[in-house]
C-alpha cells in the first residue's frame, strides 16, 4: 500500500538533512587537514643533513690568533768600523815649496803605485793616500803616506811599530831604508827613504803632513 505523501516528504527531508550534515563534516575534516599541513615545523632538507655548526663555535675556532713572528736577534758584536778617507792630494800633504826646501832635486812621481806589502801600501789599504818623489840626480826616492784607520787597525799599527799610546815618531830600517812612522791623533803617517837616518831627518816633511790633516 503506497505511503502517504506527507510521510514521503518527511523521509525526503530527513535524507536531505543527513546529506547536508555529512557534507559539513567532510568540509570540517578538509579544513583540519589543511591546518595540519601548514604547521610551523620546518620541513627536512632534501639531503636530510643535520643543521650546520652554530656561528659562535665557528667564530671561536677562527678567532684563535696565530703566533706572532719573533723579533730578529740583536748582533752579539759591534760592527767593525771602516777607515776614514783622507781626501787630500800629494801636493796638499807636502807642497812643492816644502819639498824644494828639503831638496830642490826631488820631483813628484805622477805614475807611482805603492807596493801592497809596504807601509805606503798598508796606508792605501786603510783608506789613505800614498805619494812618492824621486831624486832626479841619483834616482833615490821618498815615500810618504797618511791614513786614518779604524781604531782597531790603528792599535795594531802602533803595536807593530813598537809605539806607545801617545803621539810620536818611531824609526826602523827593516827594508834597508830609513822608515819613520808617526802617530798623530787618529792618523798614521809613514815616511820611507834612504835620506832618513833618524826621525829628525824626516821632520820637515812630517810637519807639513800634520799641518795638512790637523
Distance of CA 163 to the CA centre of its chain: 39
Q: What is the pLDDT of residue 175?
A: 60
- Which residue stretches of the chain have pLDDT < 70? 1-81, 165, 173-176
Per-domain boundaries in the chain: 90-213
**What Å distances lie between residue 182 and 102, 122, 153, 191, 199, CA to CA?**
19, 14, 15, 8, 9
Q: Looking up cell 802617530, which residue turns up?
A: 183
pLDDT at residue 169 in the model: 83
pLDDT of residue 168: 86
pLDDT, tens digit (0-9, with 9 covering 90-100), for 75-116 = 443 344 688 889 999 999 999 999 999 999 999 999 999 999
The rounded distance, in Å, linking the Cα atoms of 31 and 194 is 132
Spell out the alpha helix ranges (H) of the chain: 5-37, 55-62, 90-93, 96-102, 119-125, 151-161, 203-213
d(CA 156, CA 96): 33
Looking at residue 69, what is its pLDDT?
54
Q: What is the pLDDT of residue 174?
A: 58
How many residues would you count in the chain?
Answer: 214
What is the per-residue pLDDT across 188-202, written as a single tens digit (0 to 9) for each?
A: 999 999 999 888 999
Strand partners, 192: 143, 179
User: Which CATH number applies to 90-213: 3.10.450, 3.30.160, 3.40.50, 3.40.1000?
Assistant: 3.40.1000
- Position 70 scores a pLDDT of 58
Q: What is the pLDDT of residue 18?
A: 46
Q: Rounded CA gap, 42 and 19, in Å?
A: 38
* pLDDT at res. 170: 82
Amino acid at each position: 500500500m503506497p505511503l502517504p505523501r506527507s510521510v514521503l516528504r518527511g523521509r525526503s527531508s530527513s535524507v536531505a538533512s543527513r546529506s547536508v550534515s555529512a557534507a559539513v563534516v567532510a568540509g570540517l575534516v578538509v579544513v583540519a587537514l589543511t591546518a595540519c599541513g601548514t604547521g610551523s615545523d620546518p620541513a627536512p632538507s632534501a639531503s636530510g643533513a643535520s643543521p650546520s655548526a652554530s656561528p659562535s663555535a665557528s667564530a671561536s675556532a677562527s678567532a684563535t690568533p696565530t703566533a706572532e713572528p719573533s723579533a730578529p736577534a740583536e748582533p752579539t758584536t759591534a760592527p767593525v768600523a771602516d777607515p776614514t778617507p783622507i781626501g787630500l792630494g800629494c801636493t796638499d800633504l807636502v807642497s812643492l815649496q816644502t819639498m824644494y826646501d828639503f831638496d830642490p832635486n826631488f820631483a813628484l812621481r805622477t805614475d807611482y803605485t805603492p807596493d801592497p806589502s809596504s807601509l805606503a801600501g798598508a796606508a792605501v789599504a786603510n783608506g789613505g793616500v800614498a805619494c812618492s818623489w824621486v831624486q832626479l840626480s841619483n834616482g833615490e826616492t821618498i815615500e810618504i803616506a797618511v791614513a786614518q784607520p779604524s781604531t782597531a787597525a790603528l792599535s795594531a799599527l802602533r803595536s807593530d811599530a813598537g809605539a806607545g799610546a801617545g803621539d810620536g815618531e818611531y824609526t826602523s830600517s827593516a827594508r834597508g831604508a830609513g822608515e819613520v812612522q808617526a802617530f798623530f791623533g787618529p792618523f798614521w803617517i809613514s815616511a820611507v827613504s834612504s835620506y832618513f837616518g833618524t826621525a829628525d831627518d824626516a821632520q820637515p816633511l812630517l810637519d807639513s803632513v800634520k799641518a795638512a790633516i790637523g
